[in-house]
C-alpha cells in the first residue's frame, strides 16, 4: 500500500523510529541499516511496508528499495515472518547475504539471533531459487559475459539485492573486473552505484 514515507524523525528507540509526516507520527519497526541512518529532527525518505493482521497493523522501514525487495523475498519463504525478516536484514548486510546465497554459506545466517541451521539452509535454498527465477524471468537484454564465473555470481548477487539488470550493467561497466573474485566485483559495483 505504501512505497515510502517522507518526514521528520521525532523519536528513536531500540529498533523503532517515529516519523512525523503531515502532523501524523508513524511508528516504524526498522532494520539496523535504516536505524543507523536516522537522526532526530532529520528529514528523511523511508521505504516502508504495511503489514496488516487480524489484530494489528505495523509499519516496517528500510534504508533503500533493495533492502525492501530482499524483505519481500525473505517473507515469501515459509516460516519467515515480518519481524524475523527484519531481524535477518539487521543481522547481515545485503552484500554478505547475497554472497552467502551465492556460495551456499549457512554460517552467515545461522549466527543471526532466531535463525537456526535448518532455517538458514531453507533461506539459502529458497533465495537461490528466487534469484534464479528472477534472472530467468528477465528480458533478453540480460547478458552475462562468457567465461566469467565470478561475474555471473556477482550479477546474480546484485539481482538478489534488488538491482535491475540495467543498473547492474551500468555498475559493472564502471571498472575492469578481469581477474577479480566475486566478492571484489560486488564490492566495487556497490561502491560504483
Rounded-to-integer distance, Cα 58 and Cα 62, Å: 13
Q: Do 193 and 172 meet the contact criterion of CB atoms below 8 Å apart?
A: no
pTM of this prediction?
Answer: 0.70
> Residue 148 pLDDT > 70, yes or no?
no
At 110-126, the pLDDT tens digits run: 888 888 888 888 888 88
163 vs 138: which has the higher pLDDT: 163
Residue 77 has which C-alpha cell?
519463504
What is the distance, to the nearest Å, from the Cα of residue 98 to the centroid of all Cα atoms in its chain?
Answer: 9
Residues of the chain with CATH 2.40.50.140: 4-62
At 79-89, the pLDDT tens digits run: 899 999 999 99
CATH number 1.10.287 given to 149-192: no
Cα angle 192, 182, 116; round to 5: 110
CATH superfamily of 4-62: Nucleic acid-binding proteins (2.40.50.140)
Amino acid at each position: 500500500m505504501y512505497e515510502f514515507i517522507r518526514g521528520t524523525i521525532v523519536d528513536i528507540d531500540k529498533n523503532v523510529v517515529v516519523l512525523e509526516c503531515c502532523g501524523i507520527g508513524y511508528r516504524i519497526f526498522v532494520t539496523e541499516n535504516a536505524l543507523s541512518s536516522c537522526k532526530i529532527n532529520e528529514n528523511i525518505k523511508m521505504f516502508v511496508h504495511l503489514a496488516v493482521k487480524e489484530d494489528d497493523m505495523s509499519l516496517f522501514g528500510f534504508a533503500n528499495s533493495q533492502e525492501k525487495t530482499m524483505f519481500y523475498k525473505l517473507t515469501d519463504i515459509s516460516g519467515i515472518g515480518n519481524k524475523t525478516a527484519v531481524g535477518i536484514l539487521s543481522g547481515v548486510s545485503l552484500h554478505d547475504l547475497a554472497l552467502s546465497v551465492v556460495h551456499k554459506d549457512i554460517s552467515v545466517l545461522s549466527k543471526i539471533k532466531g535463525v537456526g541451521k535448518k532455517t538458514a539452509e531453507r533461506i539459502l535454498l529458497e533465495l537461490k531459487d528466487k534469484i534464479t527465477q528472477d534472472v530467468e524471468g528477465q528480458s533478453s537484454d540480460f547478458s552475462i559475459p562468457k567465461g566469467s564465473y565470478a561475474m555471473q555470481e556477482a550479477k546474480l548477487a546484485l539481482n538478489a539485492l534488488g538491482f535491475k539488470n540495467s543498473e547492474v550493467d551500468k555498475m559493472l561497466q564502471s571498472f575492469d573486473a578481469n581477474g577479480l573474485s566475486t566478492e571484489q566485483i560486488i564490492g566495487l559495483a556497490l561502491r560504483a552505484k
